[in-house]
Structure 1
Amino acid sequence: MTTDTYIYPFVKMHGLGNDFVIFDARKQSLEMTKEHTRLVANRRHGVGCDQLIVMHSSETADIRMEIWNADGTQAGACGNATRCVGQILLQETNKKSVSIETIAGLLTAQADDTLISVNMGKANLEWQSIPLAQAMPTDTLDYQKGPLSAPGCVNMGNPHAVFFVDDAEAIDLERWGPEIETDPLFPERVNVSIVSVSDGVLRQRVWERGAGITEACGSGACAALVAASRRGLVGRKATVTLDGGDLTIEWLDNGTVQMTGSATHSFHGEIRL
């Protein structure tokens, strides 16, 4: 860490209960480590969050965003965090649209009435891009774990396995989520979603790699819509209902996925690292 002080201001935000501690490294240099991430994310000894976000200056976008899971691993994409960072930038710049550089690529965010709409980039569907350990069709994967089988797999900047069931509430996600996340079939681990479809609405519960069960997952909601649409369960636009609330997801004709939902400030604070 290269700085003269160890006190760092942050903002706590959430998207549908998926919560983040956001640091602005444009104003104060910060090199995040796994140990720092685990400290900040700890809900007893730190601030508490599902993911930690660091905003950096960017030569190609309005900002560069780093995403760290609660276990200290780095993530490529997070839709709810992108909406939160997008809201910060939109208020800061008064622009109609802002660009956000991530490991997964360049994302854009804009205001949509009281909500934030983010283009999450292209849905990657090839087995190599998920990635899987071997060549397999990704619309209906030949895979089973306990009561769950035949997921649809989508990479939205991070890998997702979406299992369709009759009742999403009936699945013991805490039992099966970690087993599927670390299965050798998924060499970079995988986010696990349980989805049931009723009247064109997707009910989704999510186990996030490196974070566990979260109230919402933006990239997961995008993956769920794409996987459901590939099977003809819904069209290319639908509401996804997560534990924390609703997102509107649309799989656009150009292959990218648009996500619209809330971004909420919780509080500001400081922490010593």
Structure 2
Amino acid sequence: MIKFFKFHGTGNDFIMLDGRELISLPTPDEIRHLCHRQTGIGADGLIIVKPVEGFDFEMIYYNADGSLATMCGNGARCAVAFSFLTGQSGSEVTFKAGDGGHTGILQPLTDNNWMVEISMSNINIPDKTGEFTEINTGTPHLVILTQDTDAVNVPVEGRKIRYSGPYRANGINVNFLGIGEGRLKVRTYEKGVEDETLSCGTGVTACAAVAALKTGINNWIIETRGGLLEVKLKKNINIFENVRLKGPATMVFCGEFTGSFP
């Protein structure tokens, strides 16, 4: 039997595994089975938190389709809380993800809920910006300025773009961004999940960067369908630096499952 924890960050949900208890990593088929919402545990992704030299822990993140991803902002905040819960780290951490090193600060709210702020990688400012902006925040995103995000059929429109000619091979996350007075509204179609998710940490970070380029405002509260997130960043010539993502991380339940690993 393998113990797992189910976490979510503003509705973006993950299966969490303690890497210290695993002899081998799950296969893509096993990940797809575990993340399946009808026949498995159900999640947008699977995260393994394990010791690594030079950091408090390493976060290995898999999409629901079994593919390995470089970074997940909501998943990283859940990983910080999971590491704290399982005694691998304290309230201030350094951790490694696929896109490099990050820091995190955790504040307990209840026994199963934490407020977590993490550092994100520097963001290169794209040469072309406008109604459609491609930008990488640890994973590639396309940000589309939208008058009414509620009116967008995200699964249909997002899938249409993600599987269009330029993006079919490698995929891209598609974000629909509405800019309001001091607040953003964001909806995201995620590759690897191949559907709309209630929230996307790297996606709201990408949207905050695009909004900053358009308005000159660097601190944003972002409304997603799963809750509120906060992004702060600083523009420095051709990059955004000191990028921070803040929001809740919640443990939903824990249990055990049978499997071929370890």
**Match for residue 139 of structure 1?**
129
- 1:245 matched to 2:231? The reply is no
Measured after TM superposition, the shift of residue 88 of structure 1 is 2.2
Q: Displacement of 1:113 after TM fit?
A: 6.6
- Aligned CA RMSD, in angstroms, stands at 1.7
More divergent stretch after superposition (196-205 vs 54-63): 54-63
Q: Does 1:25 align with 2:19?
A: yes
- Measure the CA separation in 1 of the matches of 2:80 and 2:89: 11
Q: Aligned letter for 1:110?
A: I
Q: Which moved more, 1:85-94 or 1:205-214?
A: 85-94
Q: 1:57 to 1:138 in 2, by over 3 A?
A: farther
Whether the 8 Å contact between 2:67 and 2:192 is mirrored in structure 1 is yes
The 2-side partners of 1:107 and 1:48 are apart by 27
Give the gaps of 5 or more residues in structure 1: 1-6, 127-136, 141-149
Structure 2: which amino acid aligns with 1:189? G
Task: Tell me which residue corresponds to 1:222.
Answer: 205
Which is further off, 190-199 or 92-101?
Answer: 92-101
Q: CA deviation at 1:70?
A: 0.9
Larger displacement relative to structure 2 (57-66 or 181-190): 181-190
Equivalent residue of 1:35, what SS? helix
Q: Distance in 2 between matches of 1:98 and 1:244?
A: 25
Shift of 1:90: 3.3
1:162 and 2:152 equivalent? no
Which structure has more RCO (C-alpha within 8 Å, separation ≥ 6)? 2
Deviation at 1:30, TM superposition (A): 3.0
Tell me the matched-pair count. 247
Structure with greater strand percent: 2
Is 1:122 the counterpart of 2:153? The answer is no
**For the structure 1 residues 138 and 105, does the alpha-carbon distance in structure 2 shift closer, same or farther, using more than 3 Å as the test?**
farther
SS for the counterpart of 1:255 is strand
Give the counterpart of 1:189 among 166, 171, 177: 171
Which moves more between the two structures, 200-209 or 95-104?
95-104
1:42-191 to 2 correspondences below 5 Å: 42-91=36-85, 92-93=87-88, 95-112=90-107, 114=109, 115-126=115-126, 137-140=127-130, 150-186=131-167, 188-191=170-173
Cα-to-partner distance string for 1:20-68 (whole Å, 9 max, x where unaligned): 0011111232312110110000011110000111122211211111111
**In structure 1, C-alpha distance between the alignment counterparts of 2:171 and 2:125, rounded to whole Å:** 16
Q: 2:112: which partner in 1?
A: none
- Cα separation, 2, equivalents of 1:203 and 1:102: 27
